[in-house]
Chain A
Amino acid sequence: MANMNTDVMVDNRPVIRARNLGLVFQTTDGPVEALKDVNLDIEQGDFVSLIGPSGCGKTTFLRLIASLDKPTAGDISVNGMSPEQARLQRAYGYVFQAASLYPWRTIAGNIKLPLEIMGFSKTEMNERVKKVLDLVHLSGFENKFPWQLSGGMQQRASIARALSFDADILLMDEPFGALDEIVRDHLNEQLLDLWQSTGKTICFVTHSILEAVYLSTKIVVMSNRPGKVVEVIESSLPRERSLDIRDGPEFIEIAQRVRMGLRMSHSHE
């Protein structure tokens, strides 16, 4: 009976839940409050964007979910577990700001890296490499080294790497920040396709309003010093969307709300 109860509870729980979450860094210049009193629920299948000025703790929040840093206040759970347990169970794929592919490995070799660590068989690895390279439209580049690819292709390879081991959560830290707008639009479209076809929960850090509104079901606007959540905007846009949607009135209205929220976050200074 008790078991059944917890099962039901886990099902109802959001994938990621933060309560009064805070993180204070001890630096040589004294303590820095990177994140303060963050309350946020992220549901299964959500596409959540974290947007805010630099230093607002959006990356920090992502790192707390990933258990790359430890909070100094409050609680956070991932899949109903502590972030550390979730990390040890390989619950998420993380895409960093820079593609951070290992330069001595080919594209296929880079995608195999997590698979090798997790102990997949050779045939399974090759199947998965083929599958995820297909997903990010990089088939045929298996044996290229990272430096032989453009920045956008490298970032796609790093997304493929994060997808390769079938984690349900995808954490993305400004993955397209360094790319030009044309490439970025293209990758945004592909990412939406991917999200719709895989049903993953995506947590996406950006400082582009356009990107945030275009991609998300939920937009979390944050302010800096200390990093706080100012506003959580639920998007009314349909899940299936094309680039044209950005010219529609609904899109523009949501973008305005985000911009307002960002402006409010600055008014404290």
Chain B
Amino acid sequence: MKSILPITTVSMVIVILWYGFSVILNSTWTKDQASRAGVEVTFSEILKDTMVQQRPLLPAPHQVVIELWETTANKKITSKRSLVYHGWITLSATLLGFVIGTGLGILLAIGIVHNKAMDYGVMPWIIASQTVPILALAPMIIVVLYSIGLSGLVPKAIISAYLSFFPVSVGMVAGFRCPDPTQMDLLKTYAAKKSQLFWKLMVPISMPYLFTSLKIGVAASLVGAIVGELPTGAVAGLGARLLAGSYYGQTVQIWSALIGSAILAATLVGLIGLIQKFTLDRMGLAR
């Protein structure tokens, strides 16, 4: 509970700064309008106007909150105007991509720690894969997959997996390499099999690494799914909301989609955090 005060303080500072910048950035338009109409505006009139513009440069926090509320609670979730509808489309691609990426990441890590050739041969490619900007790669993946008849969920999930396998594989390689010589020798004195070494030592010891990797991975998955929605022409999903918003200058919509995806990411990371806490508590690894 000690953390409540600092957390509220930081949140308050952010909100105040946000309002401040809303006023500064949106006042240009207010002044423009006023000078065109040939009227003088007072500071309080400017202040009032910057909070309620239709297409503000930077929407005020309450505008975003209202838009978020309107598009989640007050719309049918099947409606194309519902953020829940778009959020689910992005979330489904995120989750599928996350599962594929995590699976691939763990498999690669297992291969790398067990096989020198893979360590030298595959690891550099894994790192190289992440140096290519995903924004450049995403349209190509979409186009290539479309040409073999795949569209919709799967291509987005693949882009999402492309981003999320990396933290998982790198993290799990580090995790699997955690056992110290004595812990290995101990199993050797029991004449343990390789599979027993894996399940009884490498897997449990790498658990803290797994959860840290999963948290980074799930956030990366969401980014991947959103990026994957951009080149498809803004059909559906949070990425589509962002793109449509920018086509039509709907800044409030852009910001609410942004905040919406941030909330989604925070929820996903938080869920993994809960599972992590539960698991590590049971393993006696959390103190």
A contact set with B: CB distance below 8 Å = 66, 68, 87-90, 92-94, 96-98, 100, 102-106, 113-114, 116-118, 145-147, 165
B contact set with A: CB distance below 8 Å = 182-183, 185-193, 196, 200-201, 204-205, 207, 283-285, 287
The secondary-structure label for the interface of chain A is loop
What are 17 A-B contacts defined by CB distance under 8 Å? A68-B185, A87-B189, A90-B191, A93-B189, A94-B186, A96-B182, A96-B186, A100-B186, A104-B204, A105-B204, A113-B190, A113-B200, A117-B187, A117-B200, A118-B190, A145-B284, A165-B190
Contact call B284/A147, Cβ cutoff below 8 A: yes
Residue of B nearest to A84 (CB): B191
Residue of B nearest to A86 (CB): B191
Contact call B284/A104, Cβ cutoff below 8 A: yes
Contact call B283/A104, Cβ cutoff below 8 A: yes
Residue of B nearest to A158 (CB): B186
The secondary-structure label for the interface of chain B is helix
Q: Chain A CB within 10 Å — which of B189, B200, B201, B284 has the most?
A: B189
Contact call B186/A104, Cβ cutoff below 8 A: no
Q: Chain B CB within 10 Å — which of A92, A104, A105, A118 has the most?
A: A104
* Assembly CA distance A87 to B182 (angstroms): 16
Known: A96-B182, A145-B284. A102 touches B201 (CB 8 A): yes
The 8 Å CB contact of B192, one of A68, A98, A117, A146, is A117
B-side contacts of A105, CB under 8 Å: 204, 284
B-side contacts of A116, CB under 8 Å: 200
Contact call B191/A88, Cβ cutoff below 8 A: yes
Give the Cβ gap from B191 to chain A, nearest Cβ, in Å. 5
Known: A100-B182, A145-B284. A87 touches B187 (CB 8 A): no
A-side contacts of B284, CB under 8 Å: 103-106, 145-147
B-side contacts of A92, CB under 8 Å: 189
Contact call A147/B287, Cβ cutoff below 8 A: yes
Contact call B285/A100, Cβ cutoff below 8 A: no
Give the Cβ gap from A84 to chain B, nearest Cβ, in Å. 9
A-side contacts of B200, CB under 8 Å: 113, 116-117
> What 4 A-B pairs have minimum CB-CB distances, sorted nearest first?
A145-B284, A104-B283, A94-B189, A100-B182
* Assembly CA distance A37 to B186 (angstroms): 27
Give the Cβ gap from A200 to chain B, nearest Cβ, in Å. 15
* Assembly CA distance A14 to B182 (angstroms): 28
Give the Cβ gap from B87 to chain A, nearest Cβ, in Å. 37
Residue of B nearest to A113 (CB): B200
* Assembly CA distance A90 to B188 (angstroms): 10
* Assembly CA distance A94 to B190 (angstroms): 9
* Assembly CA distance A104 to B203 (angstroms): 11
Contact call B190/A102, Cβ cutoff below 8 A: no
B-side contacts of A145, CB under 8 Å: 284
A-side contacts of B193, CB under 8 Å: 117
